Amino acid sequence: IQSEYLKLQEQKESNARAYPRHFPLVISKAKGMIVTDTEGRQYYDCLAGAGTLALGHNPDVVVEAIREMLDQQIPLHTLDLATPLKLAFMEELFSLLPEQMRDHAKIQFCGPTGADAVEAAIKLVKTATGGRSILAFHGSYHGSTQATMAMSGNLSKKQHLQSLLPDVHFLPFPYEYRCPFGVGGEMTAQLSAQYIEHVLDDCESGIAAPCGVIVETVQGEGGAIPAQIEWLRELRRITAERGIPLIIDEVQTGFGRTGRMFSFEHAGIVPDVIICSKAVGGSLPMSVILYKEELDRWQPGAHTGTFRGNQMAMATGLATLRYLREQRVLDNVQQRSQQMMTRLRSLQAIIPAIGDVRGRGLMIGIEMVEPSGTPDRLQHFPASGRIAEAVQRRCFANGMIIEVGGRHSSVLRFLPPLVITEQETETVLRIFERSIYEALA
């Protein structure tokens, strides 16, 4: 049966399809970390809906929330009209915000995808500041609509589209391993922050008065690259001093993924706008922006759309957020992260094709390199998409789904459910280790 389904997909699905290319399976069932295909084969899912499935597949609390909605005739669609569910969801979401923001924050429900919320955030700050240009970072990813692609720093995905949105300027992201300044270590963050300050103070740089700066605290699609905590603090200081709204894209990092509810909490900073999607809908499509109330200067009806604030996603989102808070899932994220990082770093010490192991929480990247290539200024070998893909294939053959990303798709990215157990972590690490050796054999 599986090959028939896959043939149909090959014939009928767009050439732009992405995940189905890497993972040729037809999923018939899923629970927790395990997906089962139509032939009964099982896979450990370390992609988890691209970071969406905080509690894994079909968690009991989510299934229960859906059942309750149907049993009690809770409406499935109300545009964005109020329901007790919507109010309860908002209350839960606000309760998770840092104290400094909680009582002065506004929410805008956006369309179902992360890109919808990014678009809304840009409209919000453009309206509030009257500015036009946006600052973004090399290697960033903010979505696949035209404006969000314009702000994504990966040229390979967009250069053929000619023009998208003109007023985006890119700044160097403090990527320590491939340091844009060729120095590495602490200096990466320092020089990057100094550079940003320099261009903002130079009225001839063309980017002295942007309407906002948009950043991921850990670049996800860019290859699980964490920005240094000190750099995040500097970015907050620099933007605050100049009155530039700081927009943090928490689409992938939000809701516990990095070990804190919001990833900016690691730096003790508060942004002006927070973009949320993925986990916030508890398996169903949902996105929102949360922002400081002084930015709320757009007019009634300035941002409309039919499918904003989907009711069922509020029910599943509410169940997920409550579970994360009540069951102290973030503690598990920190412990499992340590377990993974320790093991991956010891592998790195003995396998030259593992160039870098990095991440924050359960957003972990392993950058594969070509040890026979010419090293760069920091003595790091060239990134190897070829080896990463070979490892990914062996992982799949050994019963594990893991995504690649980053420059030249050279980074294997662990994004497991946040409730992954110690035993499951051990198992996926073992599969991973075996797959690397097989790929390099």
Q: Which is nearer to ligand PMP, 247 or 431 (CB)?
A: 247
Q: Which DSSP category does 245 fall into?
A: P
Examine residue 277 and tell whether it contacts ligand PMP (CB under 6 A): yes
Distance (Å, rounded) from C-alpha 196 to C-alpha 252? 24
Examine residue 114 and tell whether it contacts ligand PMP (CB under 6 A): yes
- Identify residues 200-239 at the interface with ligand PMP (CB under 6 A): 216, 220-221
Helices (H) and strands (E) in the chain, counts: 14, 17
Q: Which is nearer to ligand PMP, 252 or 320 (CB)?
A: 252
Alpha carbon separation from 417 to 23, 89, 140, 279, 343 (Å, rounded): 18, 22, 23, 10, 19
Contact assessment for residue 388 and residue 20, using Cβ atoms and an 8 Å cutoff:
no
Q: Which is nearer to ligand PMP, 88 or 164 (CB)?
A: 164
**422-440 helix and 329-350 helix, angle to the nearest 10 degrees:** 30
Q: Which is nearer to ligand PMP, 263 or 337 (CB)?
A: 263
User: Residue holding tokens 């919507």?
Assistant: 86
Sequence-ordered list of residues with C-beta below 8 angstroms from that of 159, at least 6 positions apart, any chain: none
Q: Which is nearer to ligand PMP, 258 or 277 (CB)?
A: 277
Examine residue 356 and tell whether it contacts ligand PMP (CB under 6 A): no
Judged by CB under 6 A, which stretch of 109-117, 129-137, 205-213, 298-306 contacts ligand PMP?
109-117
Closest to 48 (Cα-Cα) out of 368, 364, 423: 364
Alpha helices in 96-204 (DSSP H): 99-102, 114-129, 146-151, 186-201
Strands 168-171 and 134-137, bridge-based pairing: parallel
Examine residue 263 and tell whether it contacts ligand PMP (CB under 6 A): no
Examine residue 249 and tell whether it contacts ligand PMP (CB under 6 A): yes
- Identify residues 130-149 at the interface with ligand PMP (CB under 6 A): 141-143
Residue 52 CB, nearest distance to ligand PMP (Å)? 8
> By three-state DSSP, how is residue 388 classified?
helix
Structure tokens at 218: 């850990």
Site mask for ligand PMP (CB under 6 A), range 34-73, x = bound:
----------------x-----------------------
Distance (Å, rounded) from C-alpha 137 to C-alpha 146? 17
Examine residue 118 and tell whether it contacts ligand PMP (CB under 6 A): yes
Contact assessment for residue 232 and residue 238, using Cβ atoms and an 8 Å cutoff:
no
Q: Which is nearer to ligand PMP, 116 or 424 (CB)?
A: 116
Judged by CB under 6 A, which stretch of 6-14, 113-121, 239-247, 356-364 contacts ligand PMP?
113-121
- Identify residues 397-426 at the interface with ligand PMP (CB under 6 A): none
Examine residue 119 and tell whether it contacts ligand PMP (CB under 6 A): no
Judged by CB under 6 A, which stretch of 14-22, 231-239, 247-255, 401-409 contacts ligand PMP?
247-255
Q: Give the Cβ contact number of residue 357 at 10 Å.
A: 22
Examine residue 367 and tell whether it contacts ligand PMP (CB under 6 A): no
Examine residue 113 and tell whether it contacts ligand PMP (CB under 6 A): yes
Alpha carbon separation from 64 to 19, 29, 112, 319 (Å, rounded): 29, 17, 22, 9
Contact assessment for residue 215 and residue 175, using Cβ atoms and an 8 Å cutoff:
no
Judged by CB under 6 A, which stretch of 70-78, 110-118, 261-269, 317-325 contacts ligand PMP?
110-118
Amino acid at 151: M
Residue 46 CB, nearest distance to ligand PMP (Å)? 15
By CB under 6 A, how many residues form the interface with ligand PMP? Answer: 15
Q: Which DSSP category does 295 fall into?
A: G
Distance (Å, rounded) from C-alpha 220 to C-alpha 156? 16
Residue environment code for 51-66, b if the CB has 16+ CB neighbours within 10 A, otherwise e: bbbbbbbebebbeebb
- Identify residues 139-198 at the interface with ligand PMP (CB under 6 A): 141-143
Q: Which is nearer to ligand PMP, 277 or 435 (CB)?
A: 277
Residue 439 CB, nearest distance to ligand PMP (Å)? 25
Examine residue 309 and tell whether it contacts ligand PMP (CB under 6 A): no
Residue 277 CB, nearest distance to ligand PMP (Å)? 5
Which positions touch ligand PMP (CB under 6 A)? 50, 113-115, 118, 141-143, 216, 220-221, 249, 251-252, 277
